[in-house]
């Protein structure tokens, strides 16, 4: 049973509130305030209200003075740190991680604090999978509400394309369902418009069979080969099967065990293919990728889905200081590749830091099977997603790494589409938010949904949409 203390803006929570309240002087506050981005600790929230079930969420929404905005925490992975914004009251769902599977209907119901690893583990017990992201400790909530891209998007679409329903606590403390039939305007907005419209307590997903192992791993090429290989990748992926996904990472090689010592610190290309189709065809497909250059290292092998979907965890562990930018490309042109190469060569040189430019191939189901207007998530014209990631540990280095991220964005913006994916970049301001969902009509539709569901902008700690 928790003890609740009066805090500015909060009236007492009801006696049946089952969660825990953390204030800065409480033991456990610092731990509860930790987010993926280590920079969150610089400016902690005012109070964290950890909920154990949807009734707790309703209690918090009703108990907080309606003039005070609420921050919402799912998995805590957003680089913006909005899940623990400075001075905010946080509705923390991190303990609500139950995932239940209906193997006959192939429907999975997950509480909003679940992580991708929880979803994968529960689904794989029944030979099923929901397409999500590539890092097992990312939260399903923020990922799903922004779109959800990963190793299975070319085969099954984005996470939002496989979302069947949400249970939502609204700004005025009601519990509503959102699906194609019930509150369809809310359901449309939730599928890409992120945390602007309410607090989702449950997600329901369509799952797909994935019963055997997949073939996955890293292939590393040295710096001299990077441009040539990247130039051929767009055509290669256009004719590749949907069961093949590809992430191409251009990076000043970090001292990871799978990278030979002689390339540490030099620019390399790390390709991460995942082939989830018929295993009999896997060798031919992976051989064709290897033939694009002269690999230094080939770690592609048969693995379980669970192992595959945590392969990238080691590259970007939680707790470091992070800066992230991103956008969409129609294709990586020669100009884009030259820009990527020069930006990766021109990073602040501090020991232990990492600067990477990731290129994720779209195409297949995510691009072809779902219309631009089917959800708020935008995909029009996007052949590739680019994402720059800087990771470091010392606070005094912030300016240099942020400046690098800004340079990358300035260089790649003219080569990018005006729409984009909101989850693989930090918030880039109101004019970017007005364009990132695609055409003006889509943003207007989101602003109208905001006016309907959150007219006073209680859910303001996010990539915020102003009520129309």
Q: Which residues bind ligand FAD (CB under 6 A)?
A: 36, 72-79, 82-83, 93, 112, 133-135, 138-139, 141-143, 145-150, 194-195, 199-200, 316, 423-424, 461-462
Q: Where are the beta strands (DSSP E) in 263-345?
A: 267-275, 297-298, 301-303, 321-329
Q: Are the beta carbons of 389 and 324 closer than 8 angstroms? A: yes
Rounded Cα distance, 200 and 137, in Å: 19
- Our CB check for ligand FAD shows the closer of 323 and 347 to be 323
- Our CB check for ligand FAD shows the closer of 197 and 275 to be 197
Length of the chain: 468
- Our CB check for ligand FAD shows the closer of 152 and 341 to be 152
Residue with the shortest CB distance to ligand FAD: 142
Question: Closest approach of Cβ 98 to ligand FAD, in Å?
Answer: 14
- Our CB check for ligand FAD shows the closer of 44 and 76 to be 76
Question: Closest approach of Cβ 247 to ligand FAD, in Å?
Answer: 9
- In this structure, the number of other CB atoms found within 10 A of the CB of residue 255 comes to 12
Rounded Cα distance, 108 and 229, in Å: 39
Question: Closest approach of Cβ 170 to ligand FAD, in Å?
Answer: 11
Residues in CB range of 426: below 8 A, 6 or more apart:
79, 80, 323, 324, 325
- Our CB check for ligand FAD shows the closer of 43 and 342 to be 43
Parallel, antiparallel or unpaired: strands 384-392 and 89-92: unpaired
Which of left, alpha, beta for 29 (phi over 0: left; psi -120 to 50: alpha)?
alpha
- Our CB check for ligand FAD shows the closer of 272 and 347 to be 272
Question: Closest approach of Cβ 221 to ligand FAD, in Å?
Answer: 22
- Our CB check for ligand FAD shows the closer of 292 and 463 to be 463
Q: Sign of the CA dihedral 437, 270, 399, 80?
A: positive
- In this structure, the number of other CB atoms found within 10 A of the CB of residue 110 comes to 25
- Our CB check for ligand FAD shows the closer of 199 and 359 to be 199
Q: Are the beta carbons of 339 and 411 closer than 8 angstroms? A: yes
Tell me how far CA of residue 81 lies from CA of 35, 324, 388, 454, in angstroms: 7, 12, 17, 21
Question: Closest approach of Cβ 227 to ligand FAD, in Å?
Answer: 25
Tell me how far CA of residue 324 lies from CA of 64, 355, 376, 449, in angstroms: 32, 10, 22, 28
Question: Closest approach of Cβ 245 to ligand FAD, in Å?
Answer: 11
CA 44 to chain centre: 22
Question: Closest approach of Cβ 440 to ligand FAD, in Å?
Answer: 23
Q: Are the beta carbons of 269 and 340 closer than 8 angstroms? A: no
In the chain, count of helices (H) and strands (E)?
14, 20
- Our CB check for ligand FAD shows the closer of 93 and 269 to be 93
Q: Which value, in Å, is the radius of gyration of the alpha carbons in the chain?
A: 22
Question: Closest approach of Cβ 224 to ligand FAD, in Å?
Answer: 29
């Amino acid at each position: 049973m928790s003890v609740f203390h009066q805090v500015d803006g909060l009236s007492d929570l009801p006696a049946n509130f089952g969660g825990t309240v953390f204030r800065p002087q409480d033991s456990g506050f610092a731990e509860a305030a930790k987010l993926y981005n280590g920079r969150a600790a610089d400016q902690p929230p005012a109070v964290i209200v950890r909920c154990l079930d949807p009734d707790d969420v309703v209690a918090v929404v009703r108990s907080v003075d309606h003039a005070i905005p609420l921050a919402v925490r799912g998995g805590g992975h957003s680089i913006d740190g909005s899940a623990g914004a400075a001075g905010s009251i946080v509705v923390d769902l991190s303990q609500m991680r139950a995932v239940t599977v209906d193997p006959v209907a192939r429907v999975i119901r997950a509480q909003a604090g679940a992580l991708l690893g929880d979803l994968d583990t529960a689904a794989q017990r029944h030979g099923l999978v929901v397409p999500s992201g590539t890092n097992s400790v990312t939260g399903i909530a923020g990922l799903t509400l922004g779109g959800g891209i990963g190793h299975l998007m070319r085969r099954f679409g984005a996470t939002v394309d496989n979302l069947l329903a949400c249970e939502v606590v609204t700004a005025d403390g009601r519990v509503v369902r959102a699906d194609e039939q019930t509150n369809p305007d809310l359901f449309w907005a939730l599928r890409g418009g992120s945390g602007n419209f309410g607090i989702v307590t449950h997600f329901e997903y369509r799952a797909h069979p994935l019963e055997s192992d997949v073939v996955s791993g890293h292939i590393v090429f040295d710096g001299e080969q990077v441009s040539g290989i990247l130039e051929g990748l767009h055509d290669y992926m256009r004719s590749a099967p949907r069961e093949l996904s590809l992430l191409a990472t251009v990076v000043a090689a970090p001292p990871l065990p799978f990278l030979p010592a002689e390339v540490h610190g030099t620019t390399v290309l790390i390709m991460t293919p995942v082939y989830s189709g018929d295993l009999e065809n896997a060798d031919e497909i992976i051989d064709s990728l290897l033939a694009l250059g002269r690999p230094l290292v080939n770690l592609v092998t048969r693995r379980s889905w669970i192992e595959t979907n945590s392969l990238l965890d080691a590259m970007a562990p939680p707790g470091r200081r992070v800066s992230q930018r991103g956008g969409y490309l129609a294709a990586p042109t020669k100009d884009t590749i030259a820009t990527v190469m020069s930006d990766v060569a021109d990073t602040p040189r501090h020991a232990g830091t990492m600067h990477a430019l990731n290129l994720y191939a779209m195409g297949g189901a995510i691009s072809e099977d779902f219309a631009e207007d089917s959800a708020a998530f935008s995909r029009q014209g996007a052949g590739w997603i680019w994402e720059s990631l800087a990771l470091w540990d010392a606070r005094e280095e912030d300016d240099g790494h942020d400046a690098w991220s800004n340079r990358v964005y300035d260089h790649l913006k003219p080569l990018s589409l005006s729409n984009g994916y909101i989850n693989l970049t930090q918030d880039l301001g109101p004019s970017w938010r007005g364009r990132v969902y695609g055409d003006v009509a889509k943003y207007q539709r989101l602003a109208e949904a905001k006016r309907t569901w959150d007219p006073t902008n209680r859910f303001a700690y996010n990539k915020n949409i102003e009520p129309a």
